[in-house]
Amino acid sequence: MSFDPPSQRLHPLSVAPMMDRTDRHFRYFMRQITQKTLLYTEMITAQAILHGDRTKLLGFDPLEKPLSLQIGGDDPQLLAKCAQIAEDLGYDEVNLNVGCPSNRVQSGNFGACLMSQPELVADCVAAMQAVVDIPVTVKHRIGIDDCDRYEDMVRFVTTVMAAGCHRFTVHARKAWLQGLSPKDNRTIPPLRYDDVYRLKQEHPELWIEINGGIKTLEEADTHLQQVDAVMIGRAAYDTPYLFAVADRDIYAANAPLTRHQIVTAMLPYIARWTEQGTKLHSITRHMLQLFHGQPGSRAWKRHLTDHSCRAGAGVDVVKEAAVQVVEAMRKNTYNTMLLST
């Protein structure tokens, strides 16, 4: 693949923020696979950051860095306080969610509905940038409802850019605020990659990241010929090991760990958290797809699913699942040899 040298790009690859998926356990797991890819938290609302359990909501292991905190909100002053908290805790950047179309998010007047209020988004960005030194970025859609022309997106971006934001992650689909679920909004509106390419071509001064429907590093390579960065979402969760070669191919870093080496690397982390009372399933649910497409994948998932929710479940369950993978691989190799004779 023909990726540019890492020195020419800032975070050319990232894993998208995903609700109920990109928690600290998933991020630690992903960091065993790729040490360089930018990771995101789940979206956390400004109110939760200011009034919730910050250790639970915002805590992270230093190994997870580089790490971006995605915030949902529409009050510039509250968002500024959140940005300060993020910087004090050691986050590498703050990202404002202007892309989520869920009814719950809309009821709070944040997420994708803010695309109809670019001046307010600009005020939010300006307030955050005024109090922190870390980057403040925006993730948004192509458009919303019938306000989805390319010109509408440009008006939004240039308005926010005037407030000092120069990094935008564009989900290359519009969002319907009524009539489609968040899941359907990720698949039904057509992808419009060319609009994102055009945005970069017409505004080369901006750092543009593309998101939506990207499933492989080969596809990422194609997009990187047109934009600055690529964000991968569901595919990162469903086929996490695809990121194993990212450090080597994109960042010219070390060769990747094998899947079994990743399991071994996770064991001390799992032991530490389960000894503190965390249920094993809270961690291993993110690891179910590690062996996706490999002999033993079904046995791995079945053993973790059947045993990780049991009282007292710990690292032994993970070790047992890994042994089942090895046995399945040996059986597959033996059967292949028989077929070839």
Question: Is residue 139 part of an annotated ligand binding site?
Answer: yes
Question: Is residue 17 part of an annotated ligand binding site?
Answer: yes
Q: Which two tokens stand for residue 118?
A: 């670019």
Question: Is residue 298 part of an annotated ligand binding site?
Answer: no
Does the annotation mark 165 as catalytic?
Answer: no
Question: Is residue 103 part of an annotated ligand binding site?
Answer: no
Task: Please state, in angstroms and rounded to a whole number, the distance separating the CA atoms of residues 17 and 71.
Answer: 10
CB 79 within 8 A of CB 127: yes
Question: Is residue 212 part of an annotated ligand binding site?
Answer: yes
Q: What is the DSSP string of 149-199?
A: SHHHHHHHHHHHHTTT--EEEEESS-B-SSSS-HHHHTTSSPP-HHHHHHH
Question: Is residue 286 part of an annotated ligand binding site?
Answer: no
Q: Which residues pair with 70 in a beta bridge?
A: 95
Question: Is residue 43 part of an annotated ligand binding site?
Answer: no
Question: Is residue 59 part of an annotated ligand binding site?
Answer: no
CB atoms inside a 10 Å sphere around CB 75: 17
Task: Please state, in angstroms and rounded to a whole number, the distance separating the CA atoms of residues 194 and 332.
Answer: 44
Question: Is residue 8 part of an annotated ligand binding site?
Answer: no
Distances (CA, A) of 42 to 96, 108, 180, 264: 12, 17, 21, 26
CB 98 within 8 A of CB 130: no
Question: Is residue 12 part of an annotated ligand binding site?
Answer: no
Q: Which residues are catalytic?
A: 100
Binding residues, by number, are 17-19, 70, 139, 171, 211-213, 233-234
Binding residues for FMN, by number, are 17-19, 70, 139, 171, 211-213, 233-234
